[in-house]
């Protein structure tokens, strides 16, 4: 009798084990499908990140810009691995001309980099110009895009005036509401095509940092707002996935800037995939708090005479957190995709743990 009574229990355990294994395998498949196939996993993800391009009219209405057919031939999805990254052929450096586009994410040391770029312009004044147009209010992006178009026009005029013999570099600085990389991606493709057709380089660069440290660093802005940490970080709560907060995390700035946030409820895996796509497809320099390496790469690219980079915009006041608060920051940034993004950058751009795949 005891043996007969045990059979239903064994059968139930077997069914439960089969269900758990099947569910786990399905989750692994879903989490890796977008990285192993050159296509969008589902329609919702396509609408959120890569809009349908059925016709020129659809493209124009989606972005309110002139259709750019080059996007359709380059938009194929590729897994973010080392052999798909933009590369720099060192044998061709320094490049004779180009535009250095610095995408400045707040609280990543961008103020120091921007100061350094300004000093490089001053030291190389005969061959280099600096331009920026940014602000923290609506309507900045169309003005910035128009300004970038003018910068490229001016670069072409300079080359024609000098019969392509004299090199010239332009620095473009994007910050605040300047540019929404996700929704305005066609412009990056258009700019690159125009600049490279002149025989020049379009170098897009950004600096990132540890996700939790970045979120904590952003909290210094709360000193004047008199909010509790819970209030200040509340928009990162899982239930408020599409709510715009007082600040942007790194992945949210890269994907949404200060526009609508996560309208289609993309999970953190989908956000990481799209962020890595943007970095892989368009950014030539992606570093993690690596300022010395940043300056060396830029100087090698441009041939500028170098100056030292100084630390700017630092916060010297106290930032005190309880263990509960630090744990909340860690959990919320992990759920939002920021921790995973930095892990992915470490792996793809720095080869972190790459030996496991060999």
The answer on pLDDT for 302 being more than 80 is yes
The answer on pLDDT for 106 being more than 60 is yes
pLDDT of residue 4: 46
pLDDT of residue 65: 37
Q: Each residue of 261-283: pLDDT tens digit?
A: 998 889 999 999 999 999 999 99
**Is 183 or 311 the better-scoring residue by pLDDT?**
183
**Is 258 or 254 the better-scoring residue by pLDDT?**
254
Within 8 A by CB and 6+ apart from 280, the residues are: 78, 80, 84, 85, 86, 348
Q: Each residue of 6-30: pLDDT tens digit?
A: 455 566 666 666 655 554 443 333 3
Among candidates 325, 103, 346, which has minimal Cα distance to 216? 325
What b/e readout covers 296-335, taking b as 16+ CB neighbours within 10 angstroms? ebbbebbebeebebeeeeeeeeeeeeeeebeebbeebbbb
Among candidates 328, 206, 214, which has minimal Cα distance to 275? 206
CA angle (222 as vertex; 216, 224 as ends), nearest 5: 150
Arithmetic mean of pLDDT, 95-120: 94
**Predicted TM-score of the model (pTM):** 0.76
Among candidates 144, 168, 145, 147, which has minimal Cα distance to 156? 168
Within 8 A by CB and 6+ apart from 92, the residues are: none
> In this predicted structure, which of 66-75, 95-104, 235-244, 272-281 has the lowest mean pLDDT?
66-75
350 pLDDT band (50/70/90 cuts)? confident
* Residue 223 to residue 107: CA distance in whole angstroms: 15
């Amino acid at each position: 009798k005891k043996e007969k009574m045990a059979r239903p229990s064994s059968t139930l355990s077997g069914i439960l084990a089969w269900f758990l294994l099947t569910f786990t395998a399905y989750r692994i498949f879903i989490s890796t499908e977008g990285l192993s196939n050159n296509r969008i996993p589902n329609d919702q993800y396509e609408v959120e990140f890569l809009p349908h391009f059925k016709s020129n009219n659809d493209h124009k209405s989606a972005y309110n810009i002139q259709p750019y057919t080059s996007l359709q031939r380059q938009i194929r999805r590729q897994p973010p691995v080392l052999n798909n990254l933009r590369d720099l052929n060192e044998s061709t450096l320094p490049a004779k001309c180009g535009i250095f586009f610095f995408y400045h994410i707040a609280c990543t040391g961008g103020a120091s980099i921007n100061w350094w770029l300004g000093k490089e312009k001053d030291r190389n004044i005969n061959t280099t110009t600096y331009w920026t147009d940014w602000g923290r209010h609506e309507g900045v992006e169309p003005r910035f895009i128009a300004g970038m178009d003018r910068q490229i026009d001016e670069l072409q005029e300079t080359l024609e005036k000098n019969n392509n013999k004299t090199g010239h570099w332009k620095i473009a600085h994007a910050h605040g509401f300047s540019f929404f990389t996700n929704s305005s991606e066609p412009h990056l493709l258009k700019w690159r095509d125009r600049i490279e057709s002149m025989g020049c380089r379009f170098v897009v660069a950004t600096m990132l940092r540890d996700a939790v440290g970045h979120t904590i660093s952003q909290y210094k802005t709360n000193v004047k707002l008199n909010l509790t940490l819970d209030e200040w970080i509340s928009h990162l709560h899982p239930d408020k996935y599409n709510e715009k907060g007082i600040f942007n995390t790194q992945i949210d700035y890269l994907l949404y800037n200060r526009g609508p946030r996560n309208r289609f409820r993309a999970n953190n895996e989908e956000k990481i995939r799209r962020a890595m796509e943007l970095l892989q497809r368009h950014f030539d320099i992606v570093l993690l708090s690596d300022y010395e390496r940043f300056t060396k790469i830029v100087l090698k690219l441009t041939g500028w005479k170098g100056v030292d980079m100084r630390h700017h915009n630092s916060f010297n006041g106290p930032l005190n957190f309880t263990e509960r608060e630090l744990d909340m920051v860690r959990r919320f940034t992990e759920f939002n995709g920021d921790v995973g993004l930095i892990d992915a950058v470490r792996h793809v751009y720095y080869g972190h743990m790459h030996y496991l795949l060999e």
